[in-house]
């Protein structure tokens, strides 16, 4: 028997992953990327004549549980209508039974790639929009649980999109009552969603997230303790990477950046109660830094406060000094 080469085996795996869309409105153009659960393809919507992204379960990972998770992810995205979250257009099943959903095609680069050539002030403004997006999700009862630069895209026109909501945690208010009728009865779709939430509920002790960005409660698998403050921790880790270019703390940070270090350290406090109470509160402290105002997380030394005030009001201070110099020169020349 002839043994297949590694290249041939890899080609067969690729063919097995390729979705069969005969008779469907979508036509696959090529593969865009692959994760642990699904593969994202570039597709063409024949009806609307536009390119879209189609995410389908990987053949090797296909199971009733992963199918429920992918369908649940599509419903979470459909629920979160926000400029910072990719909109979902459609959901369905392939002839082989695998679940897929169709979303807006995002053109851009990952945040960590974008950060290599961007200036800090621009990165901080992008960070504020990321916090706004996550704050919106939290208001809908959704915790992302895997925030990291690799899951954040920056588009060609500066748009910021938070991606990959596959392991998001949905609160009871957002996840179970949606679709409920005014008389207290729940329709069939809402009951189906509740069954999905039960089937995909994270068991205690399960560790979900990315090392270096997930909170201590996630690392412990303490599912009941995971809430919006867990995402705040991850946002702090993202901020640290944007400022330093590293996942480490870095000693000897320049004085102007020390308030930012205090901000990310507060966001990444080991005890959830010591962190910012919300993504919005974190964003407000970063906005104060951008506006050259004192930040809540940092006890500013007097010398640094003086430097900050001088930097903020540099132009009017120079004008006053120039005026005083001219007055002195006038008085000196007049008395000669």
What tokens does 101 get?
A: 């959903």
Confirm whether 164 is a catalytic residue.
no
**DSSP secondary structure letter of residue 221:** T
Q: What is the dihedral of CA 256, 260, 263, 264, to 10 degrees?
A: -140
β-sheet bridge partners, residue 325:
none
Catalytic residue among 45, 65, 96, 146: 146
Residue recorded with tokens 């409660």: 217
E strands present in the chain: 26-34, 38-45, 50-57, 88-93, 99-104, 108-110, 142-143, 152-155, 160-162, 169-170
Give 39: exposed, middle or buried? Use CB within 10 Å, 0-12, 13-18, 19+: buried
CB-CB contact of 104 with 155 (8 Å): no
What residues are annotated to the active site?
146
């Amino acid at each position: 028997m002839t043994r297949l080469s590694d290249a041939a085996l890899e080609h067969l795996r690729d063919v097995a992953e390729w979705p069969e869309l005969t008779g469907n409105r979508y036509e696959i153009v090529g593969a865009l990327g692959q994760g642990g659960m699904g593969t994202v393809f570039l597709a063409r919507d024949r009806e609307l004549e536009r390119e879209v992204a189609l995410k389908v379960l990987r053949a090797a990972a296909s199971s009733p549980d992963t199918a429920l998770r992918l369908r649940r992810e599509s419903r979470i995205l459909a629920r979160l209508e926000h400029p910072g979250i990719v909109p979902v257009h459609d959901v369905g099943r392939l002839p082989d039974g695998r679940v897929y959903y169709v979303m807006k095609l995002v053109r851009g680069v990952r945040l960590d790639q974008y950060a290599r050539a961007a200036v800090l002030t621009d990165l901080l403004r992008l960070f504020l929009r990321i916090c706004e997006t996550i704050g919106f999700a939290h208001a809908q009862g959704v915790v992302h649980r895997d925030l990291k630069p690799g899951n954040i895209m920056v588009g060609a026109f500066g748009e910021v999109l938070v991606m990959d909501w596959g392991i998001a945690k949905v609160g009871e208010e957002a996840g179970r009552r949606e679709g409920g009728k005014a008389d207290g009865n729940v329709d069939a779709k809402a009951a189906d969603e509740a069954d999905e939430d039960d089937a995909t509920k994270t068991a205690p002790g399960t560790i979900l997230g990315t090392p270096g960005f997930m909170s201590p409660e996630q690392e412990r698998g303490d599912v009941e303790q995971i809430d919006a403050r867990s995402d705040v921790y991850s946002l702090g880790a993202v901020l640290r990477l944007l400022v330093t270019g590293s996942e480490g703390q870095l000693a000897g940070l320049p004085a102007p950046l020390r308030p930012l270090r205090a901000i990310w350290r507060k966001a990444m406090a080991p005890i959830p109660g010591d962190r910012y109470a919300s993504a919005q509160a974190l964003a407000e402290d970063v906005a104060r830094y951008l506006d050259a105002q004192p930040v809540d997380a940092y006890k500013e030394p007097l010398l640094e406060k003086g430097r900050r005030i001088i930097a903020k009001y540099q132009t009017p201070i120079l004008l006053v000094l120039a005026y005083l110099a001219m007055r002195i020169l006038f008085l000196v020349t007049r008395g000669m």
